[in-house]
Structure 1
Amino acid sequence: MSRAQTVQHSAARQWWLKWRFHLNILLILVPLGFMPKYFADMRLFRGEDGLGQHVQADIPVGRWSVSLAEMRDEAPLADGPAGYFKTFNAALCATCDEGVKAIYLRVGKPRSLRAAGSILFGSQYRMATSLPIPPRTRPDALLWITIEGWDGNLYQASVPLADASPATAAWLAKQGDKR
């Protein structure tokens, strides 16, 4: 190794020895900038901030009532070849836990239980689902809630998609302009 290479090597080493402490401080400070969003998400996931955005409260479905909300006020997210999905949360009323076997959510009226839609999972106080949103859906479509009771009966109710998720309705209107 020549004398010039040794000087360059030692200059880089001196720079590293001088600045490594400051670079390590940056490794701690940069994640701190993302902490408010993290804590807001955790409050939402735990239910401390309610069900989410645009809550549709006390929708009567058979002898039960359901509250429905979108997780975030944003357009549906693409999930590769599977299409676009929107996350919705729901909760049964506090006294409505008897007799519910399953709750489904679907864009458009289901033809049968086999096409009831995406199942909501979780406790009765906070259920969630990722609902597929077909790109050719009209912005004035209805979200259908189907409750299957332990007695085998089906109960249904609908909510306008524009009321449950205005961002999705706007996204669908924009998609319609592209066709």
Structure 2
Amino acid sequence: MMPLQPFWWDMLLLAFSIAGFALLALSRPREAQIVLKWPLSSQRQSAFRIAGWLFLGLALASSILAWRLNFGPFLWIGWMMLAVPAVAFAITYWPWRPKRLHRATNFASAVPVLSGPLRVFWQGLLTLALIAIPAGLVWAVHEAPIHPLLRDDAVAGKVGPWTFTMVEEERGPPETIGEDVVAKHVMLRFCDACDEQIRSAYLKVRKPRLPLAIGMEFEGARSAREVTLVIPPGIELADGIWLTAIGTDGSVHIAEIPLSQLMPATARQISEQAR
């Protein structure tokens, strides 16, 4: 699952991308003359080019740092696809660009040119599209649901020497996955320093009987381990949810998470059925 980062990470990535492409554009004599109003020397051209690639490299490094190699490069490419038209639009339509002097040639007069209200309409439509598309993407990212492990109902705890955060993926009663079989999808994340010391982790209803019945093993990336926990019939609130973590050195540690704390809706359902 893709790590969910604060919104400013996306804005930082977009800013680096725009800065990189803007500097690369200024390394071209034509664009430099339009924007900066002075000739482009070879030293300035090299400086703009190096700085442009440096900013694009920073954008790539930031995306990998925030979203790892699994998703970072794809988000980097996505934001670059927005940065390129933004820079091109700014250079093409910015007020500093001098107006073209139309030559009265036979060829120019033979080619139909948009003018008057029609030209204003199409320019306005293009401007609106170039603004609306990035704005729509920004709104979609802002309105994206919070990662379950970042929600307020996530449970923080400690198993042995390692701290963890655990949460049910969907709040509510357990779902039916088969005939008379109900389950809950649970997500787990250990601290970054802990991950390197943990070989595997398991989850079970009721206290495990080591070393055999230790429960279902968490799978997936270390940043967001996942497991489908089957809720056995006859479960009671006192049974609890038990986490077993096995270290790379072979050490085994267990910790109990109260059922009412990890799965409030499931706990209420059990209480109602017990009446």
Shorter chain as normaliser: what TM range? 0.5 to 0.7
- Secondary structure at the aligned position of 2:173 is classed as coil
Query: Over aligned residues, Cα RMSD in angstroms?
Result: 2.2
TM-score for the superposition, normalised by structure 1: 0.68
Q: Which residue of the other structure, out of 171, 175, 179, is the alignment partner of 1:81? A: 179
1:158 corresponds to 2:256 = yes
- Which residue of structure 1 lines up, in the alignment, with residue 237 of structure 2? 139
Q: Aligned partners of 2:204, 2:185: CA distance in 1, in Å?
A: 12
Asked if structure 1 preserves the Cα contact closer than 8 Å seen for 2:148 and 2:169, the reply is: no
Asked if structure 2 preserves the Cα contact closer than 8 Å seen for 1:135 and 1:175, the reply is: no
The 5-angstrom pairing of residues 20-169 of structure 1 reads 43=144, 48-51=146-149, 54-57=153-156, 59-81=157-179, 83-169=181-267
Between Structure 1 and Structure 2, how many residues are aligned?
134
The one-letter code matched in structure 1 to 2:265 is A
Q: Report deviation, 1:50.
A: 4.0
Q: Report deviation, 1:55.
A: 0.5
- Structure 1 residues 50 and 72, CA, compared in 2 at 3 Å: closer, same or farther? closer
User: Gaps (5+ residues) in structure 1?
Assistant: 1-38
The one-letter code matched in structure 2 to 1:89 is M
Asked if structure 1 preserves the Cα contact closer than 8 Å seen for 2:165 and 2:190, the reply is: yes
- Secondary structure at the aligned position of 1:65 is classed as strand
Q: Report deviation, 1:114.
A: 2.2
The one-letter code matched in structure 1 to 2:155 is Q
More strand by share: 1
Q: Aligned partners of 1:124, 1:109: CA distance in 2, in Å?
A: 24
Q: Report deviation, 1:175.
A: 2.7
Q: Report deviation, 1:82.
A: 6.2
The one-letter code matched in structure 1 to 2:194 is C
Runs of 4+ in 1 over 6 A off after TM superposition: none
User: Gaps (5+ residues) in structure 2?
Assistant: 1-139
Percent sequence identity over aligned pairs: 29
More helix by share: 2
TM-score for the superposition, normalised by structure 2: 0.45
